């Protein structure tokens, strides 16, 4: 059977395809999630926190005293006290009027009167109010990914839930592309998406169309069947369910990819080969997911190129980069091996209108390891 899928005579520029995908897309409504579920999600606006600790506390075990009362005290000139000072354990609130903690060896409790054998400075052995978290600060800033250290601060403040944005991502895998589909699903979860993955019952258009359910997601990805082979029917299935904006994108690897919509839900068809799918994930799908998450612009690193990058005009090419001696070294361009994907620290795209970058040119690499 001959496929009815065909690539157009000319490819759609990458920036045009991305603009079509992003048109009308905004951040999803925030939700309050338990801390463990909020990990890796993108934080939404949250009220500022109070000071932590809320008052001065002892940072170590010892006797609570006032530093100004201990001037001149030493083992050669002990300072007598009327009464034994208050003993505090680490974490206890400091008694009124006390601003330092001396260890047990610095106070001699025996004899007719307790004696202090050492001086102290204000704040010695004390954790000041707001020393861990200043009043008015935020556990995690809006637009930033929730990390494990943010959960530590939330637990220290007694907070059980965080307000985050977690877009719903539905991945439809075309039989034969499980390795690639799993790769994309794991990458999406790392980016903070709520991922549901299903496999179509067959490679024909009817089976694929039956697996597409855009009403249950904010972004739809279909992995595999994007080409013009005799068993490729994904773009046909997407057209049956909604709209195909472009099939055949001027990006290498990944030129057989497609973008479209089902109602208001953006959809991206990724090729089944891992390197092609990953390139389309970075250049088309991930920017949409970031917009849905309300994420701040992704981190880039400005470094010069160790060697020239040559590229053909008319098609955007994905480049994988590795740092060496303070410069970007090209691992792969256009054709991305799995080893290069695993080793890469960053990536960039050479625009379709450029012939590449000269050696020594400073370029922005999008970091793959945060």
pLDDT grade for 221, boundaries at 50, 70 and 90: very high
Does 7 reside within a domain?
A: no
| DSSP-derived secondary structure letter, 282 | I
Does pLDDT of 370 surpass 80?
no
Cite the DSSP H helix spans in the chain: 14-22, 35-38, 148-156, 178-190, 205-211, 234-241, 274-280, 286-293, 338-343
pTM of the model: 0.82
Looking at the domain assignment, is residue 100 inside a domain? yes
Q: Would you say residue 6 lies in a domain? A: no
Domain count within the chain: 4
Instruction: Name, in order, each residue with C-beta under 8 angstroms of 77's C-beta and a sequence gap of 6 or more.
Output: none
CA distance 171 to 93: 53
Question: pLDDT tens across 271-313, in order?
Answer: 999 999 999 999 999 999 999 999 999 989 999 999 999 988 8
| Domain membership of residue 89 as a residue range | 57-127
Mean of pLDDT values over 98-127: 94
* Residues 229, 145 share a domain: no
Residue that finishes a domain, picked among 293, 311, 331? 293
Contacts with 75 (C-beta within 8 Å, 6 or more apart), sequence order: 117, 118
Predicted pLDDT of residue 267: 97
Residues 207 and 324 in one domain: no
CATH number for 286: 3.40.980.10
Beta-bridged to residue 57, according to DSSP, are 93, 127
Residue 1 has pLDDT above 60, yes or no: no
Residue 3 has pLDDT above 70, yes or no: no
- Listed as own residue / partner, the contacts of 245-248 with beta carbons closer than 8 Å and 24 or more positions apart are 245/17, 245/20, 245/21, 246/12, 246/16, 246/17, 246/20, 247/5, 247/7, 247/8, 248/7, 248/8, 248/10, 248/11, 248/12
Segment 142-153, tens digit of pLDDT:
999 999 999 998
Is the model's pLDDT at 369 over the cut of 80?
A: no
80 and 61, same domain (yes or no): yes
Average pLDDT, the chain: 93
Residues 118 and 145 in one domain: no
Q: pLDDT band at 214, cuts 50/70/90?
A: confident
């Amino acid at each position: 059977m001959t496929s009815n899928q065909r690539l157009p005579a000319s490819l759609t520029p990458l920036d045009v395809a991305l603009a079509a995908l992003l048109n009308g897309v905004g951040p999803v409504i925030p939700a309050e999630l338990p801390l463990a579920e909020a990990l890796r999600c993108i934080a939404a606006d949250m009220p500022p926190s109070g000071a932590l600790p809320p008052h001065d506390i002892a940072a170590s075990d010892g006797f609570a005293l006032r530093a100004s009362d201990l001037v001149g005290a030493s083992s050669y000139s002990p300072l007598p006290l009327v009464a034994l000072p208050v003993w505090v354990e680490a974490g206890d609130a400091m008694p009124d009027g006390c601003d330092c903690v001396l260890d047990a060896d610095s106070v001699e409790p025996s004899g007719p009167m307790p004696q202090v054998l050492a001086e102290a400075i204000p704040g010695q052995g004390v954790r000041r109010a707001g020393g861990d978290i200043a009043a008015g600060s935020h556990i995690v800033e809006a637009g930033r990914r929730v990390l494990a250290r943010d959960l530590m601060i939330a637990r220290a403040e007694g907070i059980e839930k965080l307000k985050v944005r977690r877009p719903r991502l539905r991945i439809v895998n075309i039989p034969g592309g499980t390795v690639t589909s799993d790769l994309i699903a794991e990458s999406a979860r790392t980016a903070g998406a709520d991922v549901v993955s299903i496999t179509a019952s067959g490679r024909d258009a009817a089976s694929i169309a039956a697996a597409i359910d855009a009403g249950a997601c904010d972004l739809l990805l279909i992995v595999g069947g994007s080409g013009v082979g005799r068993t490729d029917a994904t773009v046909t299935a997407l057209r049956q369910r909604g709209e195909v904006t472009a099939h055949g994108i001027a990006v290498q690897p990944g030129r057989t990819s497609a973008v479209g919509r089902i109602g208001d839900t953006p959809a991206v068809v990724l090729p089944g080969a891992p390197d092609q799918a990953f390139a389309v994930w970075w250049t088309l799908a991930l920017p949409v997911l970031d917009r849905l998450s309300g994420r701040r612009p992704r981190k880039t690193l400005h470094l010069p190129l160790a060697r020239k990058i040559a590229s053909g005009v008319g098609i955007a090419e994905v480049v994988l980069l590795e740092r060496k001696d303070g410069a970007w070294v090209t691992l792969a361009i256009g054709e991305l091996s799995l080893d290069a994907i695993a080793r890469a620290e960053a990536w960039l795209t050479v625009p379709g209108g450029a012939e590449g970058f000269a050696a020594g040119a400073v370029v922005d690499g999008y970091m793959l390891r945060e």
